[in-house]
Amino acid sequence: MANKGIDNSAARVQGNDGGYFIITTRWNTEIVEGLLSGAKGALLGVGVDPRQIRVECVPGAFEIPLACQAAAARSDCDAVIALGAVIRGGTPHFEYVAGECTRGIGQVALQSGKPVAFGVLTVDTLEQAMERAADNEENKGAEAALSAVEMVNLLRVLAD
Ligand code: INI
């Protein structure tokens, strides 16, 4: 898979001990299912054991950071992968929801010291969201999953 910015060789899993926690939303279910499918496929593709993958769902993108924080606090969590979609589509909520979600996810990563991959689409239209959640090389769930594996590997190297 030739995802932009992701080094697939660096993303090959190097241990089957930890867990990958995927946080999804009930908002924009169809889009999020596409992201989830991409993320799971990417994790399995780089050697993650299915038993290492746990999926939990929150109401919407605004709730993602808190769930990520709870997941990252677990000793059996190596990385968190946040998946969701905030679609501008005329909602005055957009800037607030997208902004808080993005900021919160970054904050959880820095405060927990664990990778929290950002697979939350922030787009203008449903069509744009569908393009990024499609079953192809542009799938942003897959990109987020591979970045999580790559960061787990890097943090292990840096901890030595
Ligand atoms: N949540 C989303 O995940 N995507 C959206 O596009 C969205 N919009 O447009 O409002 C959205 N809102 C809900 C929000 O994330 C919270 O769940 C809600 O405000 C309750 O806290």
For residues 7 and 156, the model is more confident at: 156
Of 27, 38, 115, 40, the residue nearest 71 (C-alpha): 115
Residue 93 designated active-site: yes
87 in contact with ligand 1, CB cutoff 6 A: yes
By DSSP bridging, strand 77-87 and strand 116-123 are parallel
What is the pLDDT of the chain when averaged over all its residues? 93
Instruction: Report the half-sphere exposure of 25 (CA within 13 A, side-chain side).
Output: 23
Indicate if ligand 1 lies below 6 Å from the C-beta of 31.
no
Q: Is the model's pLDDT at 100 over the cut of 90?
A: yes
- The pTM (predicted TM-score) of the whole model is 0.94
What's the mean pLDDT in 22-26? 98
* 40-50 average pLDDT score: 96
